Amino acid sequence: MAKKTTTKTQPTYSFTAIIAGIVGALVSLSVGAGMANSILTLEPIIPAIITAVAGWIVIVGTILSIVMALFGK
C-alpha cells in the first residue's frame, strides 16, 4: 500500500492584508484614545463617562487582538 503523506500549509498573507491590519489597529487605537480622553464625545446624547469606558474597551480589545494575532489563536 502506498503511504499517504500530508503536508501542513502555512497561511499566506498578502502585503495589502498586512497593511490593512496595521492601519485598522492604528485607527482603532487612536479612536479609542480619543474616546477615553473625552476628545470624541456626543455629550448631549451619551454621557462622557460612558464614552470614556467604551474608549477603554476599544483600546483593550485592540491590544488583545494584536497579541492574539501575533502569538496565534
Q: How far apart are CA 11 and CA 31, in angstroms?
A: 30
For 5-59, write each residue's pLDDT tens digit: 666 666 667 889 889 999 999 999 999 999 999 898 888 899 999 999 999 999 9
pLDDT at position 44 is 87
Helix, strand, or coil here: 37?
A: coil
Residue 73 has pLDDT above 70, yes or no: no
Question: Which amino acid type is present at position 59?
Answer: I
The answer as to whether 9 is a domain residue is no
Q: How many domains does the structure of the chain reveal?
A: 1
What pLDDT, on a 0 to 100 scale, did the predictor assign at position 1? 61
Identify the band that residue 72 occupies on the pLDDT scale cut at 50, 70 and 90: confident
Domain that holds residue 58: 31-73
In a domain, 49, yes or no: yes
Residue 56: inside a domain, yes or no?
yes
